[in-house]
Chains A and B, each alone.
Chain A
Amino acid sequence: MASRFWTQGGDSDTEEEENSEYEEGSETEQPAGDADGALARSRYLRDQASDSDDSDGQHRVVKSARHKRFDEMVATIDQTKNAMKINDWVSLQESFEKINKQLEKVMRVTESVKVPNLYIKALVMLEDFLAQALSQSMANKDAKKKMSSSNAKALNSMKQKLKKNNRQYEELIAKYREKPEGQDEVAEDADEESGSEVEEDPSKITMFDDESDDKEEEEDDEPAQGAGTWEKKMSRKDKLMDKQFMKDPSKITWDVVAKKLKEIVAARGKKGTGRVEQVEQLTFLTRVAKTPAQKLEILLSVVSAQFDVNPSLLGHMPINVWKKCVGNMLLVLDILEQYPNIVVDDAVEVDEHETEKGADHKGTIRVWGNLVAFLERLDSEFFKSLQCIDPHTREYVERLRDEPLFLVIAQNLQEYLERIGDFKAASKVALHRLELIYYKPQEVYDAMRKLAEQAGTEAGWEDGDADESDESQIVQESRGPPDFVPIPEIVPRRPAFPERSRALVDALVFLIYKYGDERTKARAMLCDIYHHAIFDEFPVARDLLLMSHLQDGIQLMDISSQILFNRVMAQLGLCAFRAGLIQEAHGCLFELYQGGRVKELLAQGMSQNRYHEKTPEQEKAERRRQMPYHMHINLELLEATHLICAMLLEVPNMAATTHDPKRKPISRTFRRLLEVSERQTFVGPPETVRDHVMAATRALRKGDHRRAFDVINSLDIWKLLRNQEKVLEMVKSKIKEEALRTYLVAFSSCYDSLSLSQLTLMFDVSEAHVHSIVSKMMIMDELHASWDQPTKCVVCHTVEQTRLQGLLFRMADKLVILAENNERAFEARTGGGLEGLPPRRREGQDYTGSAASGRWQQNSAGSALQGRQGGGYGGRLGYDGRTGGSAQGTGGGFRRDRSGQESRGGGDGGGYYGSAGRTGVRGSRMEAAAGMVNLSRAVRI
Chain B
Amino acid sequence: MADYDLTSRIAPHLDRHLVFPLLEFLQERELYADDEILKAKIQLLSQTNMVDYAMDIHKALYHTEDVPQEMVGRRVEVVARLKSLEESAAPLISFLQNAALVQELRTDKQYNIQMLHDRFQIGADQIEALYQYAKFQFECGNYSGAADYLYQYRALCTNSERSLSALWGKLAAEILMQNWDTALEELNRLKEIIDSKSFASPLNQLQNRIWLMHWSLFIFFNHENGRNGIIDLFFQDRYLNAIQTNAHHLLRYVATAVIVNKRRRNMLKELVKVIQQEQQSYKDPITEFLECLYVNYDFDGAQKKLKECEQVILNDPFLGKRVEDSNFTTVPLREEFLENARLFVFETYCRIHRCIDISVLAEKLNLNMSYDEALVWITNLIRNSKLEAKIDAVLGTVTMPIVHQNVHEQIIEAMKNLNMRTYLLAKNIVEPAQAAQATR
Contact = CB atoms under 8 A, between A and B. Distances in A.
Interface of A: 539, 547, 768, 771-772, 775-776, 778-779, 786-791, 795, 797, 799, 801, 805, 808-809, 812-813, 815-816, 819, 822-823, 826, 830, 834, 836-838, 849-852, 854, 893, 896-897, 899-900, 903-904, 907-908, 910-911, 915-922
A814 to B, nearest CB: 11
B63 interface: no
A922 B245 CA distance: 10
4 A-B pairs with the lowest CB-CB distances in the bound complex, closest first: A851-B273, A775-B297, A900-B237, A539-B280
A771 B297 contact: yes
Contact of A772 (B245, B272, B296): B296
B117 interface: no
A249 B397 CA distance: 111
Given A809-B414, A838-B417, A768 B273 contact: no
Interface stretch (B6-14, B49-57, B79-87, B418-426): B418-426
A778 B354 contact: no
B280 A917 contact: no
Contact of A819 (B273, B395, B418): B418
Contacts of A834: 421, 424-425, 428
A822 B272 CA distance: 37
B42 interface: no
Contacts of B280: 539
13 contacts: A547-B245, A776-B297, A786-B400, A787-B353, A788-B353, A809-B411, A813-B414, A816-B414, A819-B422, A854-B273, A899-B237, A919-B241, A919-B245
Interface size of B as a range: 35 or more
Nearest to B201: A916
B3 interface: no
B422 to A, nearest CB: 6
Contacts of B203: 911, 915-917
A899 B297 CA distance: 32
Interface stretch (B150-158, B326-334, B355-363): B355-363
A603 to B, nearest CB: 32
Contacts of B425: 819, 822-823, 826, 834
Contacts of B386: none
Interface of B: 201-203, 206, 237-238, 241-242, 244-246, 270, 272-274, 276-277, 280-281, 295-298, 300, 348, 351-357, 360, 395, 397, 400, 402, 404, 407, 410-411, 414-415, 417-418, 421-422, 424-425, 428-429
Given A787-B353, A918-B241, A823 B421 contact: yes
A896 B201 contact: no
Given A834-B425, A907-B202, A816 B418 contact: yes
A904 B206 CA distance: 11
A614 to B, nearest CB: 43
A532 B351 CA distance: 41
Nearest to A907: B202
Interface of A: prevailing SS: helix
A917 B297 contact: no
B422 A919 contact: no
B428 A789 contact: no
B246 A917 contact: yes
A915 B402 CA distance: 54
A919 B206 contact: yes
Contacts of B206: 916-917, 919
Contacts of A838: 417
B281 A539 contact: yes
Contacts of B297: 771-772, 775-776, 779
A903 B243 CA distance: 17
A921 B241 contact: yes
Contacts of B356: 789-790
A788 B245 contact: no
A797 B352 CA distance: 12
A815 B357 contact: no
Contacts of B397: 789-790
Contacts of B418: 815-816, 819
B241 A920 contact: yes
A934 B201 CA distance: 31
A900 B244 CA distance: 13
Given A823-B421, A900-B237, A918 B244 contact: yes
A835 B105 CA distance: 48
B274 A851 contact: yes
A838 B354 CA distance: 36
Contacts of B351: 778-779
Contact of B354 (A795, A910, A920, A921): A795
A789 B357 contact: yes
A624 B421 CA distance: 58
Contacts of A799: 404, 407
A815 B422 CA distance: 10
A426 B219 CA distance: 49
A908 B414 CA distance: 43
B241 A826 contact: no
Contact of B411 (A812, A819, A922): A812
A922 B244 contact: yes
Given A791-B355, A822-B422, A917-B206, 15 more contacts: A786-B352, A786-B402, A787-B353, A787-B354, A788-B354, A788-B355, A789-B353, A790-B397, A799-B404, A809-B414, A816-B418, A826-B429, A851-B273, A854-B273, A916-B201
Contacts of A823: 421, 425
Contacts of B242: 917, 919
Residue in B246, B351, B352, B400 whose Cβ sees the most chain A Cβ within 10 Å: B352
A841 B270 CA distance: 18
A916 B276 contact: no
B274 to A, nearest CB: 7
A852 B429 contact: no
A907 B400 CA distance: 54
Contacts of B202: 904, 907-908, 910-911, 916-917, 919
A903 B205 CA distance: 13
A801 B406 CA distance: 11
Contact of A851 (B272, B300, B360, B417): B272
A896 B245 contact: no
Contact of A815 (B245, B246, B272, B415): B415
A786 B422 contact: no
B241 A836 contact: no
A922 B277 contact: yes
A790 B352 CA distance: 13
A786 B354 contact: yes
Contacts of B273: 851, 854, 893
B315 to A, nearest CB: 28
A438 to B, nearest CB: 22
Given A819-B418, A908-B202, A850 B355 contact: no
